[in-house]
Structure 1
Amino acid sequence: MSVNTHFGKAPQMPEDVEEALPRAVALSWGVAEHPQRGPKRELSIERIVDTAIEVADTDGLGAVSMSRIATELGFTTMSLYRYVTSKDDVLALMQDAVCTIRIPPDDELAARGGSARNAGEETADWRAGLRRWAMASIEVIQEHPWFPDIPISGIPLMPNNLAVLDWGLREMRDLPLTDAEKMSTALLLSSYARAIAVVERDVSRSQSADAPATHGEAFTAALSELVTPERFPDLAPLVASGAYADSDGADEQDDFAFGLERILDGIETYLAGRRSGEPVTAFEERPEAVPRDKAVREAAKARREAESKLREARKNEREAIARARERAAREAERESR
């Protein structure tokens, strides 16, 4: 994969532009002045970033270091610092580089139903566009599982990230939303897709590792002993049926698709209120946090201890019943003789 940015050929810009940007951002836009390069011209920012991505794809993000990258390239570690100032710069450039996804051109959007935008009419199939946009986030993480392990340090500033955001805003271009509402919608969809992708990644990793199976009849029976109707009245039936630990996807429901459609339903309802001119609630204040109370924690601890004793008592009861049945069977066998 090559980095779709302008490393190496910086356009002429005022010095204050470069100074106002973080180093990695300036490098991604090609507006940073490169430090003096060494004699080996074949080394470049593109090669450094591409190599770092290959290391992360193979061995995980934790394996990425300046020394590892230098070794893979056949250079000294100090050689890399002629191009980037720190590992953090490399990580930021990696994150932007893998966002070189295919963005549908405008004519593709028009073919899907948005050709009437010049007349001020709403795009016919905005849901399809946002659905595809949200799925792109999952695809990036599927291809590069380390991607969400790099912390979000602020708003998108690099060209590829901004191109993806621009695509999402284009899908909302004709919707009756304010600029702030469009940004909130983009955040909602991208956050949801990112969260689901991380869950899917982690579940996949746990299933491929040497970990106890979290499905099957034996597991369901064991879990049912803990998740009792008394404590979990609504969850217990799902556990008993096997639906809760359905890691094999036997229910054939795509959790991501289901949740995404419900989010889009909500957006559509909000848009309907906008079109009708009726007052709509843009937002409400966040609910107050549940107070942390020592008495509540102590009561919860006491409940857990009581439940543990109850489970132990039930176990002893089952063992006693089993022993009694064995004795009865032996006595019956002696009498039959």
Structure 2
Amino acid sequence: MTETEPELPRGIALAWGVAADPQRGPKREMSVERIVETAVELADADGLGAVSMAAVAAKLGFTPMSLYRYVSAKDDLLLLMQEEATGIPPESHLDEEGWRNRLRALFEAQVLVYVRHPWMLALPITGSPITPNSSAWLDAGLASLENTPLTSDERVAVALSVTGHARWYGMVLAGYAEQSRVTGLTPEEVSARESALFDRVITADEFPSLRRAIDDGVFVATADPFRFGVERILDGVESYIAALDSGEPHVSVDEWAEADSPDVEGDKRVREARKAVRDAEKAVRDARKAERQALREATERARR
């Protein structure tokens, strides 16, 4: 390693199998792999909150200090759990013809990962995927676009769009599954319950477009909005590729969205001003609601 090369964090080094082995400990009975598999089992059964070094150690029959010889931090364990649950992309996506079909197959496989391991959705996104399995998924997405005229930047953008949509889809499916588990209702019954709750609070005066959607039965419809959405993403990519093939130039968006600096965000006067804005916006909404109610009552009186 040269002076300019950063040292791999231990969690990432463990994922790649290049971390130093512990010098002592119950080596025959324990390994990083066994620790991670046990932690994943706990999370699959009872959620991420059930995972702690003490809980994993107890399930394995060892003391927490024994685990720390192998996985020295909880964050490293979470990273390795994510890597284990992510797995590698299915070879079956390679049987599909064309970039679009391959990306669709990868999208559906990624959704299944989240459905099988919903606790993964509680893990924060802290940067680009650097672990082997996460890298394999990104590589598969890029490889699917290999024979297109897209630039490397554009291929990454497309792959991330599909991956992000899969995560959002998995989050919604996991939410419905959790509601079903807690309430004992079927997914269809959960949707009906959700629609009924919207029906109680959404008025045509305040949210006219959403009210029309509710009246049209969108929350109890069998149509899958997420598959529809990913198909439209792929439509856009297909249209862009066709434009490139016909000689149109590449489109570049160089600016990232930027938040204010921590110093600005933490400034007391800025926080107070933003709170005042929120309070004023709420007051305006309440005033408009009162106005609409008064107009309805006045109209009824005039009719009488």
Could you say which TM-score interval applies, normalised by the shorter chain?
Answer: 0.7 to 0.9
Aligned Cα root-mean-square deviation (Å): 3.6
**After the TM superposition, which of the residue ranges 83-92 and 296-305 deviates more from structure 2?**
296-305
Q: 1:301 to 1:48 in 2, by over 3 A?
A: same
Q: 1:284 to 1:300 in 2, by over 3 A?
A: farther
Other-structure match for 2:18: 31
Q: 1:218 to 1:312 in 2, by over 3 A?
A: farther
8 Å contact from structure 2 (residues 48, 119) kept in 1: yes
User: Following TM superposition, by how much is the alpha carbon of 1:238 offset from its aligned partner in structure 2, in angstroms?
Assistant: 2.2
Q: Distance in 1 between matches of 2:236 and 2:180?
A: 34
CA deviations 1:266-321 (Å, max 9, x no partner) are: 001110111111234333867999x9695685254243266369779999xxxxxx
8 Å contact from structure 2 (residues 88, 136) kept in 1: no
User: Following TM superposition, by how much is the alpha carbon of 1:229 offset from its aligned partner in structure 2, in angstroms?
Assistant: 2.4
2:104 to 127, 131, 140: 131
- What does 1:78-97 correspond to in 2, within 5 Å? 78-97=65-84
Q: Distance in 1 between matches of 2:284 and 2:14?
A: 57
Other-structure match for 1:51: 38
Q: 1:313 to 1:190 in 2, by over 3 A?
A: same
- What does 1:276-315 correspond to in 2, within 5 Å? 276-283=246-253, 294=276, 297-298=279-280, 300-304=282-286, 307=289
Q: Distance in 2 between matches of 1:232 and 1:70?
A: 52
Q: Distance in 2 between matches of 1:265 and 1:127?
A: 9
Q: Which contiguous aligned blocks of 4+ residues in structure 1 show a shift greater than 6 angstroms?
A: 15-19, 211-214, 286-289, 308-315
Q: Percent identity?
A: 41
Other-structure match for 2:269: none
Other-structure match for 2:215: 240
Other-structure match for 2:300: none
Q: Distance in 1 between matches of 2:2 and 2:183?
A: 55
Other-structure match for 1:273: 243
Q: Distance in 1 between matches of 2:8 and 2:24?
A: 22
2:59 to 61, 72, 76: 72
8 Å contact from structure 2 (residues 129, 135) kept in 1: yes
Other-structure match for 2:133: 160
User: Following TM superposition, by how much is the alpha carbon of 1:29 offset from its aligned partner in structure 2, in angstroms?
Assistant: 1.1
Gaps (5+ residues) in structure 2? 260-272, 298-304
Other-structure match for 1:231: 206
User: Following TM superposition, by how much is the alpha carbon of 1:224 offset from its aligned partner in structure 2, in angstroms?
Assistant: 4.5
Other-structure match for 2:116: 143
User: Following TM superposition, by how much is the alpha carbon of 1:147 offset from its aligned partner in structure 2, in angstroms?
Assistant: 0.9
Q: 1:284 to 1:294 in 2, by over 3 A?
A: farther
Q: Residue type matched to 1:303 in 2?
A: R
TM-score (norm 1): 0.72
- What does 1:189-228 correspond to in 2, within 5 Å? 189-210=162-183, 216=192, 220=196, 223-224=198-199, 226-228=201-203
8 Å contact from structure 1 (residues 61, 146) kept in 2: yes
8 Å contact from structure 1 (residues 169, 182) kept in 2: yes
Bigger-Rg structure (1/2): 1
Q: 1:112 to 1:133 in 2, by over 3 A?
A: closer
User: Following TM superposition, by how much is the alpha carbon of 1:257 offset from its aligned partner in structure 2, in angstroms?
Assistant: 1.0
Q: Distance in 1 between matches of 2:164 and 2:7?
A: 28
Other-structure match for 1:22: 9
CA deviations 1:164-201 (Å, max 9, x no partner) are: 11111111111111111111111111011101111221
The alignment covers a number of residue pairs equal to 282
Q: Residue type matched to 1:157 in 2?
A: I
Q: Distance in 1 between matches of 2:131 and 2:149?
A: 28
Q: Distance in 1 between matches of 2:99 and 2:240?
A: 14
8 Å contact from structure 2 (residues 179, 190) kept in 1: no
Other-structure match for 1:10: none
8 Å contact from structure 2 (residues 89, 109) kept in 1: no
Q: Distance in 1 between matches of 2:85 and 2:277?
A: 50
1:262 to 232, 236, 247: 232
User: Following TM superposition, by how much is the alpha carbon of 1:100 offset from its aligned partner in structure 2, in angstroms?
Assistant: 1.7
TM-score (norm 2): 0.80
Q: 1:252 to 1:219 in 2, by over 3 A?
A: closer
Q: Residue type matched to 1:307 in 2?
A: K
User: Following TM superposition, by how much is the alpha carbon of 1:136 offset from its aligned partner in structure 2, in angstroms?
Assistant: 1.8
Higher fraction of helix: 2
